[in-house]
Amino acid sequence: MHRTTIAAGLVLAATLSTTALASAEAGTSHHASSARAGAYSVTATVNKAEPLQGSKVKIKGSVKPAAPGAKVTLQLRYADQNKWKNVGTDALSGQGKFKFTDKVSSVRERKYRVVKPAAPGHAAGHSKSLEVTVFGWRDLTSLSPATLSGFGEYETGVKMNGVAYPNSLRSYTAYPPGSGNWIDYNLNRDCKTFRGVAGLDDSSLATGTAQISLSTDGTVRYTGSFGLTQSAPVALDVTKVFRLTVSATLHNGTAAVGTPQVLCSF
């Protein structure tokens, strides 16, 4: 009986030892599998978050662990789209670095990211999305006026001191002298800069004058008084401005704003 008990104990011990070994090997195998499935780490930066239309942006970064010579892909997605599209590839340097250049030809908001495809031992990885808002110059007259009174848009332009300005604003003749004229535009807080030339239209009487003002969200930002042959360039920061107003007080003169433009992201 004693020998039988000892034998049974040895069998049980051997069984437990085998089970433990199998469990340990399974754990080691699981760990190795997890390591092989580890994703590439991709970091990327863009040099301009608000570039001008027609300029170029540069995206650069690195991949870890380094995979010299491996390909990475630059992807782009517009704000009104759901899918990423490939726009370029680059080979990683010996240190796992990459760089891309992309020309921004439209004012559409967009995002970029860089993707490193999967390879033996590592799953695919991609960088965080890089948001880019492109700004471009557009004629103020390409927007629809919110309200207006005594001001009109003239595609053929105006003349001030013999200089022609296309796509401009001009007041109507106002009576009695001293009455006001205005035109409003909603910029929707999507523009950064206004530029144009304020002055008196050459159709004015020789003794005519006009005072021209530009306001943003009800605050007067510029005022100028002009006689015949007089004009001056105007530039305003309109960052976060919702409404831009051009107004004039006339004294037998015709106010004009030559080729007004705004730098916007739409």
pLDDT digits (tens, 9 = 90+) for 107-133: 999 999 999 999 999 999 999 999 999
Tokens 């309200």, residue located: 147
Residues above pLDDT 90, as percent of the chain: 81
Token digits of residue 19: 């089970």
Token digits of residue 85: 């599209």
Band of residue 259 on the pLDDT scale cut at 50, 70, 90: very high
The residues with which 164 forms a beta bridge, in sequence order, are 159
Percent helix / strand / coil, the chain, rounded to 5 = 15, 50, 35
Tokens 């296309």, residue located: 166
User: How many residues in total does the chain contain?
Assistant: 266
pLDDT digits (tens, 9 = 90+) for 1-60: 444 443 444 333 444 343 443 444 344 333 333 334 599 999 999 999 999 999 999 999
- 180 within 8 A of 248, measured Cβ to Cβ: yes
Please report the domains of the chain, with CATH numbers, ordered by start residue: 41-134 (2.20.130.20), 137-264 (2.60.120.1060)
How many of the other CB atoms lie within 10 Å of CB of 119?
Answer: 11
The residue ranges of DSSP E strands in 22-84, in sequence order, are 41-46, 56-64, 71-78
**Spatial CA neighbour of 132 closest among 243, 73, 55, 239:** 55
